[in-house]
Each structure stands twice: as C-alpha cells, then as structure tokens.
Structure 1
Amino acid sequence: MREEKCTSPRNHKWFGLSLQALVVLSHKTCAVSSSEIAPKLCSEATLLRRVLAKLAKAGIVSTREGRDGGYRLSRPADSITLAEVYLAMRVGQPLSSGMLDTTGVSAFGQEMKSAFIDITNELEQMTIEVLSHYTIAQLASRICEEKMSMLKDAPAAALITLNHNESDVS
C-alpha cells in the first residue's frame, strides 16, 4: 500500500484536525476512541482515524486496541510542538504546488519555476520556525477552561448545538 501524503486540497484540513484532536487528548487521562473525538471536531471518525494514524506513526500519539482502547498522547503536551505535528502530517507546500503548476516549459517558465521554488522553500522554513515556538499545551491553554470541561463531559450533540449558537452571536 502506497503511503498517502496529506498535500491534496481535500487533505489541507488534516493539520487543523490533528491539532484539535491533540488538544482534546491533552485534557484526557485515558485512551480516547476516534468515535468519541470526531463529533467534538465536527468530523468523521474514519477521517480522524487516518489523521491519528499519521500522528501515531510519528510517535506523537500512541494507540491501544480493544474495548478500553483508543488514542492518547505519547508524551506531555508541552513537549509536542506544532512544527512537529505539521511535519508529521506532511502538509508540505500547498502554495508551491499551485505556483509551480503555473510555470511553462519555456526558458522563462523554468526561470520562474526556479524562483518560485526558492521563495516557497523559504516560506516553508519560516512556517516551521514559527510553529516550533508553540506547543500543544500552549494551544490548549488558549481555550477557555469552561469549554474544555464541556469537552470532557458533554455529549457531542450538545457541543454541536453550542458551536452553532456561538456562531449566531458573532
């Protein structure tokens, strides 16, 4: 089976989903199933399992099978950087893909392609550098404690209702 890269347009949301799942896991003390996490992210469990599999492969989460199985952080949330998650998800260079697709095979097109590669490589490095300054614990702390207590205890339907009601307020 060929390894799937998370660079196609349909997978650009994988990085965001992975960060949200890790924040949820950072507030749990036991293993949590993808079926329990998915509704909190308004996502599907099958998609979330693919995202979590990438994180498991990178050693960011651990998995446990069976009735009490699920996912948990492999190490403390304050030691997992957003850059590490970004690289694990292989978000890659979505901007460069589009830019590179616009260049032609002419001499001018090839010169532009070379310039685009240099620029997008620099953008990628800057992105990783910025993300390396943040951890899952820091991201989790930005969420109001009241909301996190609701994530721990509330059924998914109540959370979805809450999210819809909050969007009406803004």
Structure 2
Amino acid sequence: MTMKADRLTSSAQPKWFGLALQALVVLSHKSEVYPSAAIADRLESEATLLRKVLAKLAAAQLIETREGRDGGYRLKRSPEHISLADVYRALKVGEPLCSGMLDTIGCRDSNAHMQSAFVDIAKEVEEKTLETLQQHTIAQLAQRTLLHSS
C-alpha cells in the first residue's frame, strides 16, 4: 500500500462526518442503549464502517458503549450539548484537505511559497468550518430532520 493510501484508510473520510451526525441524531431519540446493527439499519449503512465511526465518537467522550448481548451505544451528553464542531473534531475530518493539498506540491525550493499559502488557506477553511459547525447542535439537527420527515 502506498503512503497516500495509508493516509486515506487511517483517517476519517469526509462521509464519516455525515454518518456520525445521523447516528447521533438516532441516539438522541432514545436514552437507552442502541445496538450498532440497529443504527446501521436505520442509516442504511454498513455496520462495520459505522462501528469505526462510533469508536471515534466514543474516544471523544460523545457517546458511551456497553459490551455484551444487551450492548450498544448511547449519548454521553445531552444532544443540546453536542455541537457539530465537537463531532467534526472527534473525527478529525479537516486533516485530509490540508494534506491532500500539500501532496500536490513538488519538492523544489520555489514551491515553499505555494506550500505556505496552502497551509494558510487550509487553516482559514478549518477555522471557518469549525466556527459554523459550533453554531449547531445534534438536538437542533434532530429537530430539523423531525420537522421535515412529517
């Protein structure tokens, strides 16, 4: 496997963010433990992929896990206190943009200015993204999707 392929499989893919948000909305509707297979079924997603996403959310203390036959996942905080920025940071979604941009730059000394510009732009994009995501919570997303599904 190449170095670029390793990077793609070891970090969260942008679609993980969408899966994570949907899973958290599902979990926000119940206070009891919800099995990953049931969440995957609701999201029409592969359970194995979803468990990888949920593991990142658990590591970030957004959800808790329970092992065993009656195991599953549930929110660790109220949905009103989980911002979309919390989820984004838990998955570290922003890293591929910067590293992907930097991968396109050659090794010449003259490319140092381009690299610096790319890093500055990527930082600004990341800041604006987090600023926007911080304004929204899982509870708000759940409410919006509930209103549109009726």
Q: Aligning the two structures, in what range does the TM-score lie when normalised by the shorter sequence?
A: 0.7 to 0.9
Mapping 1:12-161, distance limit 5 Å: 12-145=14-147, 147=149
SS at match of 1:142: helix
Is the CA contact (8 Å cut-off) linking 2:82 and 2:137 kept in structure 1? yes
Contact 1:61/1:72 (<8 A) preserved = yes
Query: Number of paired residues?
Result: 141
Deviations 1:113-144 (A, max 9, x none): 11110111111011111101110000101013
Q: Secondary structure at the match of 2:27?
A: helix
Partner amino acid, structure 1, of 2:118? F
**Alignment partner of 1:5 is 2:11:** yes
Greater mean alpha carbon deviation, residues 137-146 or residues 23-32: 137-146
Tell me what 1:166 maps to: none
Q: Is the 8 A contact 1:19 1:85 kept in 2?
A: yes
- Per-residue deviation, 1:91: 0.8
Deviation of 1:92 after TM superposition, in Å, equals: 2.3
- TM (norm. structure 1) is 0.78
Give the Cα separation in 2 of the matches to 1:105 and 1:15. Answer: 32
| Structure whose alpha-carbon radius of gyration is higher | 1
1:107 Cα deviation after fit: 2.8
Cα 1:122–1:77 shift into 2, 3 Å: same
Q: Distance in 1 between matches of 2:136 and 2:74?
A: 20
1:93 shift after superposition: 3.0
8 Å Cα contact 1:104/1:110 also seen in 2: no
* Residue 40 to residue 113, structure 1, CA distance change in 2 (3 Å): same
Question: Between the two proteins, what is the percent identity of the paired residues?
Answer: 57
1:98 CA drift (Å): 2.6
* Partners of 2:144 and 2:115 in 1: CA distance: 40
Alignment check: 8 A CA contact 2:25 2:139 kept: yes
TM-score by length of 2: 0.87
Give me the CA root mean square deviation: 1.6
**Paired residue type of 2:57:** L
